[in-house]
Amino acid sequence: ASSITLEGVEKSFSREAIALDGVDLTIKAGEFFTLLGPSGCGKTTLLRILAGLDTPNAGVVSIGGVDVTAVPPHKRSVNTVFQSYALFPHLSVEDNIGFGLKMQGVDKAERTRRVREMAEFIKLSPLLSRRIHQLSGGQRQRIALARALVCEPDVLLLDEPLSALDAGLRGQLQVELQRIQRRLGMTFVFVTHDQQEAMVMSDRIAVLNDGKIQQLDTPRAVFERPANAFVARFMGHSNLLEIKRRGADRLDTAIGPLTLPADAEHMNDGDLVLIRPETIELGDDALGQPNRFDATVVESFYRGSHFEYRLQVEDVALTAFSSNQGQKLFAADDRVPISISPSDLMTVRGEG
């Protein structure tokens, strides 16, 4: 496996279309690294630059400690699985998967063995003798994956490789891919716009927006300590309140004044507090606690492991989760006291 470093990488296609706006990052050898962000944020451009298919306007790309910025694609020890899986329609599934090995000069017996093993792994064994045009989009995507994996490159670049699969198979392959990456010790650079997928698969995640890295950290840190409002929203957090300073130890928000968490001295107007739904105390548990508010229940949903309550506090919609053990259940239109412990309030930097 190889490490990858990008320093000051910039790419624009025109004066308006700036795809990457100064990207610095280091991907460790053998790491499952994910680029996560909305459509158009620059994920594919970054992969194409790693593969050597696009040249940056500025900056340096190194793979395995070697500056490859000017090295053509076929001289990099990198394989790519693209969103549009370019398979050979006239070849069988088996020959498609084995194509890269044949190019490397691997002999027939060894090729057959490795292709069959990979097909087993990626659940394609029954299809090996079929032709590409006889297969579904999801099957084609898995063949493209198998074709790249079987070559065991130092670095594998994967551009939304599971996006054409239905939920069940997608979940299975998320686990399988992670397993195969660990087993072969390859460096994976995986692209997705799906925050759940990024969280279950990755060692580390770089969240991208507008061609800039917003945060680079472990899945847990990105989810639990989002670096700014964009990351917080993109990771699916909804209970975000913009703050206004009101003296040293109080913040004002749209639901009323809040007592600060201990680390909030640095907060300024326009920053936000994030209230995790599971930290909101409801009903009797809220009485006598700090940051107590009166909420109206709008809707409630049974979610199996917990109940979800959509609440209205002043003009603000909040979501709270509560386990049903020993809890009184609340119904629509109930007035319910809620409280949020100051230590459970997360502080998040504003976007500007």
Among 23, 33, 42, 140, binds ligand ADP (CB under 6 A): 42
Q: Is 79 in the site for ligand ADP (CB under 6 A)?
A: no
Contact between 192 and Mg ion (CB under 5 A)?
no
For the CB of residue 202, give the shortest distance to ligand ADP in the complex, in Å. Answer: 16
17 binds, among ligand ADP, Mg ion, none (CB under 5 to 8 A by kind): ligand ADP
Q: Is residue 45 within the footprint of ligand ADP (CB under 6 A)?
A: yes
253 binds Mg ion (CB under 5 A): no
Per-residue binding string, ligand ADP, 218-237, x by CB under 6 A, is: --------------------
Nearest residue to Mg ion on Cβ basis: 44
Is there binding between residue 84 and ligand ADP (CB under 6 A)? Answer: no
* Crossing angle of helices 167-184 and 137-149, rounded to 10°: 0
| Number of chain positions touching Mg ion (CB under 5 A) | 1
| Residue 58 touches ligand ADP, criterion: CB under 6 A | no
Task: Give the Cα separation of 199 and 25 in Å (integer).
Answer: 19
The reply to whether 55 sits near ligand ADP by the rule CB under 6 A is no
41 touches which of Mg ion, ligand ADP, none (CB within 5 to 8 A by kind)?
ligand ADP
List, in order, residues 6 or more apart from 351 with CB less than 8 Å away: 228, 229, 230
Backbone phi, psi, residue 93, to 5° = -60, -45
Q: What sign does the CA torsion over 209, 212, 215, 217 have?
A: positive
CB of 171 to ligand ADP, least distance (A): 23
Binding mask 38-77 for Mg ion (x = CB under 5 A): ------x---------------------------------
The answer to whether 132 contacts ligand ADP (rule: CB under 6 A) is no
Place of tokens 């279950």: 200
Q: Which stretch binds Mg ion (CB under 5 A): 37-45, 87-95, 173-181, 239-247?
A: 37-45
The C-alpha atoms of residue 36 and residue 23 are separated, in whole angstroms, by 14
Interaction site with ligand ADP (CB under 6 A): 13, 17, 19, 37, 39-45
**Interface ranges with Mg ion (CB under 5 A):** 44
